[in-house]
Structure 1
Amino acid sequence: MGKSQKKRSMRRHNPMRVPDSHLPKGLESAASSSPKNEAVLPIIQKLESPDASERKWACVAVSNLIQNDPSTRRLLQGKNVVGALITRLSDSEEEVWIEAAGALRNLCIDGGYDICAEMYNKNILAPLKTFVPKISSALSQFLESPKTAPENAQKVVYEFTENVNTILWCLSETSNKALNAINQINLVPFLMSFLAARAKLPIATVTAAAQCLYVLTDDNQPAIDELRSSAAFSTCLLEIVHNEGDVRSKDNEAFGDRLTMLKVLSSGILSNVSPLPPPSAASGVDVGKEIVLPLLQPVVASVSLIESSALAENLVAKLALEPPQIEKLSLKSGPQSDHRSDTELELERLENKLRTVQLALEILTGVCATLPDPVSEAHEGELDAEEDAEENDVEIEEDVTDGMALDDIPITNGATIPSHLPALVQPLITLIQPARLSFPPAAGQSSHPPTTSVLSAIHVSALECLNNIFLSLSASPTTELATATASGKQVWDAVWAALGSVGTEITRGQGRKQEMWEIGVGVLWGVGNIWKGSLVPNEEQVQLLIQLCNSSADPAVRVKCIGTLECLAQHPQSIDANRVIAMHLLSILPTSTAPSSYSTEPVIQALSALIDIYSDENLPYDVNFRQGNFVQRLVDSVDGVRKALRGEGMRDNLVAFIKYRKALRF
């Protein structure tokens, strides 16, 4: 039963902001579905114009064309807009390469990993590397002698820096190859310089640097070592978390949201690099318990997704009455990439606030993944992963432990004793419930894709966090927790309510719905393990779990379904549900004449489940085992189990169980 871990191969810091998976593949379909098809070719041509003002205009136009428009983005991509913009980064005119960086940044954010991979393959790092020392030099000059450059010039440099750092951030999570190349640039001191000078810099610029640092230090040893090498770096991060050393202040809501994001990112960076060695000020700090949980719990409880969704819909309706951005573009007007209406800015503020919640959930999920899996006091030390897997007859994902525990789970004699549900559970339960804009419609795209993207990401991240919490709690069951059946039913019902809102009709472009089910069933398994025997199985829920188990191609999802069904089958009085579940589990096993259609892990889990369910012949539902002649069905599976499974352990368990059942006399 593995916890959700942040893995480099499955990065999700920056999910595609404007998904295009609902569109048919191919340039022709993109051209036919793009409302701006006719504007694309002139813009591509102007990117190569001998006139610098036309090249600059074309770069800005790209940013405006792709706004919430995946078909036009895909069409531009097919016309090699990425290669053309990378070429413009080496333009002879400063204004052109500044605007090109802005357009590339927007493509990264909106388009996700595919576009980032294309940028890396087309060698975007070559020009980006040349910008780093130039930016450092300009920053030093502005900080030492701010009057030497006019404010407008400083503003341009800061916005350009934000774009460069954002591109580097997105590239860092594209692939290990891109990450290794970025490691060679040694960015940590460069990025930390912005955080250190936060009192004199725009907060958006500082936050972009922090975003890049957060991604670079996540499971990336070269960056972790570099940040650990300087006590000043960790001191700076602690000061930000504790509001020491003022950030350049502006008294408005947008600034407050940005500051919260910066504090969340700083706590995430500290979490990534902890434990910090002496003489760092944070060397003796339990980052998870003393920094991350106290800071992030209020953040995840601070937002109503229902209200946020309604606000986004109102703003989108208002925006529809405003003239399209593309109509504002002309060579004479000299458009700027930050030329947005008040409504657009308000939508961006809402999205940024929601992204902060998503980030906080991601950090909390990582912290909860490091919760210890305690053992009873009778054991000395902890079972390693292999021993634990053998004991439970199921393969588990690699787990990382650092001794951190949730703040309201006290530590006693080296073991974690859960006294009650963590305070974090209730806000997470609220965040998994879908709102109107949470998922795109069955056909087409959302009325505001960025809001839909972040809402669905929040639901998934909240489920991942719940998954880790309940797996941690179920690892050390106590009588006090097990008897809190009302709490168990509340969580169980809330997860099913969320999954019910998601529904089972999942069409093209609705991959997040699938993720909700796949992660949600893991939460159900954790809850089921804690309150095994007290959760009354619901016929519809049992059938949905069986349906997901049969339809999923992922063995891990099948294992979770089987584990959850096992928990439900052990409600003593639910004899009919027990029979239905047992028949499904038996159907997974091989027979003397046919192998199982399932892979090894689900077969092991099904066998383990059947043995656990029917290990006590005195339970009311054991009548199903006897009347259904299950022992003969298990005998029929022995040879198939031996052929299908590596080693003799599971077969030996099965044979021993069969002998035990045969020896019983009723």
Structure 2
Amino acid sequence: MRLAATVPTDDLLQHPSADVREFACASISKVLQQKQTIPAFVQRDVVRCLGPMLLDQRLAVRETAAGALRNLSACGGFDVCDDMVTKDVMTPLVALLKECQAGLEESNESVKETKETNKNYTEDIANEAVNLLWNVCECNSTAVSIFNREGCLALVLQFLKRFHTNVDLAIAVASCLQAVTEDNPDLLSSFDASTHQVLETVMVSSDKTMEHVLLRTLVAGVLWNIKSTLPSGSQASTVNAILKTLSECLAVDAGEVVIRMKEEETERLKTVEDLGTEENGSSLAVNEDEEMEETPKKPTKGKTDVSDLLPSSKQELKQVTALLLAQQTALEIIVNMCCNEEPSDDEWEELSSSDESDAFLENSYEEGGKLMSPLCLSAEVHTALMNHLVPKKILGKTAFPNSAAVDICARSPAWKPLIKKLNMVQYRALTCLHSILLVSDVDCLGGASVLQSLAQHLSQLIFSQPEFSKQTEFLEAVTSALRALLQMMASNNISQCTTPEQLMTLCEAGIQSDNVGVRVNVVSILGIAGSVLSKLEDTVETLKMIGKFLLEVATKDLSLVVAGEALDALFDVFADGKEAERAAEQIKLLSALKEFQPVFRLRMRKEGKGQYSTDQLCVLDNVKLNLRRFIAYLENLERK
């Protein structure tokens, strides 16, 4: 069936009947949930058609028009959001938000509520409008500039104040604020004592629902983004309150909540069935699978999945969804606290080469020899992290999801998507653990025995999954954490529990991954392990195995970033020690590197500028220099 025959024409959007206009907007809204339909609507200039309808005289038309544009922005991605801003969606949207604010301030409830439906149109319109605002601001810098210029902060804060009675609207506002306060210095001057008070009031509220847990977590993220606007005297207490909020969020056992909520849903549906049987003589029970087929207006969108439009009949599912998003968000905020400017895992860090790593470690010590935080974790954040047992709670989230909860979700089509969300919390926890390890020292983490136990835990996670090499997100997260942990243990001369055989198994599987970050992690892990073994006795055979593996990666991997990391690992493994010298001689490391040196240079000239960033090329240049030095070092050894 052709698209034109299945969706309303532009004429219907301009129809004199408000009912027809509402139907047209609602139909478009539903169709826009399907990504493949979006290009056709963009071609038909749907933004210019729907934009004016945000200010339609009929409130229901405003709501459905805002919902359609919201779906377009959520499903269309960056390019569509850019087009929406270019087509000036922000002008009617800001005007609509101002009218919503004015409507909420009016004392005449009839403006916003009908007795027949008990529906608060103004709040519902505001919810759609704020979600639309959030989506376009998250994707488009011009929209953020308009947000700043038009004073949208004051508008949405008025909606946030209604968090006790309309948590969905408050969540949309908090999500929007978390997006617009990130890297937006022009907005910071708009935050004063009154705005701080609104945010802090929401964050310390005591509402018990999982949606309010999500709301408090999002607001904690906003407060972290604007912490520079807080009075210096209250910064420490606010940071403490933020981490208390995140800690309380992470303390909730998501598996238990899944089990409990599913039981409550079953009981509720059974009660509905019993009541229907008693009153009508026949069952009115809702088939769960049919009931759950309705698609929420806002599709999953990474960290912004709120699912706030799930109907009330899905209240238990909505609670679990909110909790899992809250925990994922909490973990992401903690990562930002630890490493605001850390490169992503698929980028090769500038500190990965030997010379720069040595300089890095030298600069990481104070005069007394105490290891400083390489990423400058503030004293306030460090203290609050420890006081609220945040590292311990992060560690708890790194375990695989509760198997009973996963089984429950797997048996219900509507709950099955929660399995992916449960897994995502684990992946984010492993990434968060990686960040904590980068900014902590041995003592604050509990000492050598705790780190050894952690190494065993990570190994169990890896090797309990026979098909782990196919789970890219898990493997990238867990190898990042293991890499940071083994480096900390090596730097502090703590014996490592993971055997060379286990590490080789991990590396042989990981190097097959399509993900550059995974491959970089596993060769780095092998380099760390090899550098420790090179200082021990009777390790020649193991070092030979490691050396051959790293040589093969350096010479055959399709990514220069991975090849460079493998060379860097070789430098670390064979830079010192009698066992390393013997192993290098037996695998003919010198001749292999001399043969590979011109190939590496040629690859850098041919591939470098076209495929890699300036920072990566700087690192690769450093590796090229270190390769020449390392060859000279091996030649000197051979002459002795």
**Smaller-chain TM-score bracket:** 0.7 to 0.9
TM-score of the superposed pair, with normalisation by structure 1: 0.70
Aligned counterpart for 1:658 among listed residues 629, 634, 637: 634
Distance 1:611 1:73 in 2: 52
Distance 1:59 1:650 in 2: 63
Q: Equivalent residue for 2:99? A: 134
Q: Equivalent residue for 1:291? A: 241
Gaps of 5+ in 1: 1-30, 250-254, 327-336, 373-383, 412-419, 441-445, 505-512
Say if 1:178 and 1:394 are closer, same or farther in 2 by CA, change over 3 A. farther
Q: Is the 8 A contact 2:400 2:423 kept in 1?
A: no
Q: Equivalent residue for 2:159? A: 194
Distance 2:46 2:259 in 1: 33
Aligned counterpart for 2:325 among listed residues 355, 360, 366: 355
Q: Deviations over 1:533-581 (max 9, x none)?
A: 6243465763553454365464x54432321222343456776654333
Q: Equivalent residue for 1:266? A: 219
| Displacement of 1:447 | 6.0
Q: Equivalent residue for 2:589? A: 630
Say if 1:268 and 1:495 are closer, same or farther in 2 by CA, change over 3 A. farther
Letter of the aligned partner of 1:349 in structure 2? Q
Q: Equivalent residue for 1:423? A: 392
Letter of the aligned partner of 1:354 in structure 2? L
Q: Equivalent residue for 1:377? A: none
Q: Is the 8 A contact 2:50 2:65 kept in 1?
A: yes
Say if 1:44 and 1:497 are closer, same or farther in 2 by CA, change over 3 A. farther
| Displacement of 1:128 | 0.4
* 1:224 maps to 2:183: no
TM-score of the superposed pair, with normalisation by structure 2: 0.72
Q: Equivalent residue for 1:608? A: 568
Distance 1:177 1:475 in 2: 45
Q: Is the 8 A contact 1:214 1:268 kept in 2?
A: yes
- Superposed, which structure 2 residues align to 1:204-603 within 5 Å? 204-227=168-191, 230-243=192-205, 256-278=209-231, 282-285=234-237, 287=239, 290-305=240-255, 308=258, 318-322=287-291, 342-369=312-339, 390-392=355-357, 401-407=377-383, 422-430=391-399, 436=406, 451=418, 454-473=421-440, 480-481=447-448, 484-497=451-464, 500=466, 503-504=469-470, 513-532=471-490, 534-537=496-499, 539=501, 542-543=504-505, 545-546=507-508, 548-549=510-511, 551-552=513-514, 554=516, 556-569=517-530, 570-571=532-533, 578-589=543-554, 597-599=558-560, 601-603=561-563
Say if 1:597 and 1:256 are closer, same or farther in 2 by CA, change over 3 A. closer
Q: Equivalent residue for 2:371? A: none
| Displacement of 1:146 | 6.3
Letter of the aligned partner of 1:59 in structure 2? C
Distance 1:216 1:475 in 2: 37
Q: Specify the SS of the correspondent of 2:120.
A: helix
* 1:203 maps to 2:162: no
Distance 1:195 1:47 in 2: 32
- Superposed, which structure 2 residues align to 1:43-54 within 5 Å? 46-54=12-20
- Superposed, which structure 2 residues align to 1:26-105 within 5 Å? 40-42=6-8, 46-64=12-30, 84-105=49-70
Q: Is the 8 A contact 1:481 1:530 kept in 2?
A: no
Letter of the aligned partner of 1:610 in structure 2? L
Q: Specify the SS of the correspondent of 1:430.
A: coil
Q: Specify the SS of the correspondent of 2:139.
A: coil
Q: Specify the SS of the correspondent of 1:158.
A: helix
| Displacement of 1:219 | 2.0
Say if 1:536 and 1:196 are closer, same or farther in 2 by CA, change over 3 A. closer
Letter of the aligned partner of 1:657 in structure 2? Y
Q: Is the 8 A contact 1:260 1:356 kept in 2?
A: yes
Gaps of 5+ in 2: 270-285, 296-306, 343-348, 362-373, 605-619
Distance 2:430 2:148 in 1: 32
Q: Deviations over 1:306-339 (max 9, x none)?
A: 873997799899432449769xxxxxxxxxx999
Distance 1:363 1:478 in 2: 20
| Displacement of 1:653 | 3.8
Letter of the aligned partner of 1:363 in structure 2? I
Q: Deviations over 1:163-193 (max 9, x none)?
A: 1111111111113344334333232222223
Shifted more, 71-80 versus 113-122: the winner is 71-80
Q: Specify the SS of the correspondent of 1:650.
A: helix
Say if 1:404 and 1:219 are closer, same or farther in 2 by CA, change over 3 A. farther
**Equivalent residue pairs, number:** 563
Distance 2:216 2:9 in 1: 40
| Displacement of 1:263 | 1.6
Q: Is the 8 A contact 2:70 2:129 kept in 1?
A: yes
Q: Specify the SS of the correspondent of 1:534.
A: coil
Q: Is the 8 A contact 1:438 1:455 kept in 2?
A: no
Q: Is the 8 A contact 2:13 2:21 kept in 1?
A: yes
Distance 1:394 1:547 in 2: 32
Say if 1:651 and 1:101 are closer, same or farther in 2 by CA, change over 3 A. same
Q: Is the 8 A contact 2:472 2:515 kept in 1?
A: no
Q: Equivalent residue for 1:330? A: none
Q: Is the 8 A contact 2:335 2:432 kept in 1?
A: yes
Say if 1:179 and 1:546 are closer, same or farther in 2 by CA, change over 3 A. farther
Q: Is the 8 A contact 1:89 1:100 kept in 2?
A: yes
Q: Is the 8 A contact 2:254 2:323 kept in 1?
A: no
Say if 1:661 and 1:82 are closer, same or farther in 2 by CA, change over 3 A. farther
Distance 1:241 1:338 in 2: 19
Distance 1:104 1:87 in 2: 11
Distance 1:395 1:552 in 2: 30
Q: Could you say what the CA RMSD is over the residues aligned between the two structures, in angstroms?
A: 4.8
Q: Equivalent residue for 1:617? A: 577
Distance 1:89 1:421 in 2: 44
Q: Is the 8 A contact 2:210 2:323 kept in 1?
A: yes
Q: Specify the SS of the correspondent of 1:299.
A: helix
Distance 1:52 1:358 in 2: 42
Q: Equivalent residue for 1:19? A: none
Distance 2:553 2:408 in 1: 35
Q: Deviations over 1:389-424 (max 9, x none)?
A: 84327999x96754554448779xxxxxxxx99313
Say if 1:424 and 1:307 are closer, same or farther in 2 by CA, change over 3 A. closer
Say if 1:438 and 1:501 are closer, same or farther in 2 by CA, change over 3 A. farther
Letter of the aligned partner of 1:519 in structure 2? A
Say if 1:575 and 1:106 are closer, same or farther in 2 by CA, change over 3 A. farther
| Displacement of 1:48 | 5.0
Q: Equivalent residue for 1:24? A: none
Q: Is the 8 A contact 1:105 1:166 kept in 2?
A: yes
Q: Is the 8 A contact 1:631 1:658 kept in 2?
A: yes
Q: Is the 8 A contact 1:224 1:273 kept in 2?
A: yes
Letter of the aligned partner of 1:658 in structure 2? L
Distance 2:636 2:440 in 1: 32
Distance 2:359 2:564 in 1: 6
| Displacement of 1:217 | 0.8
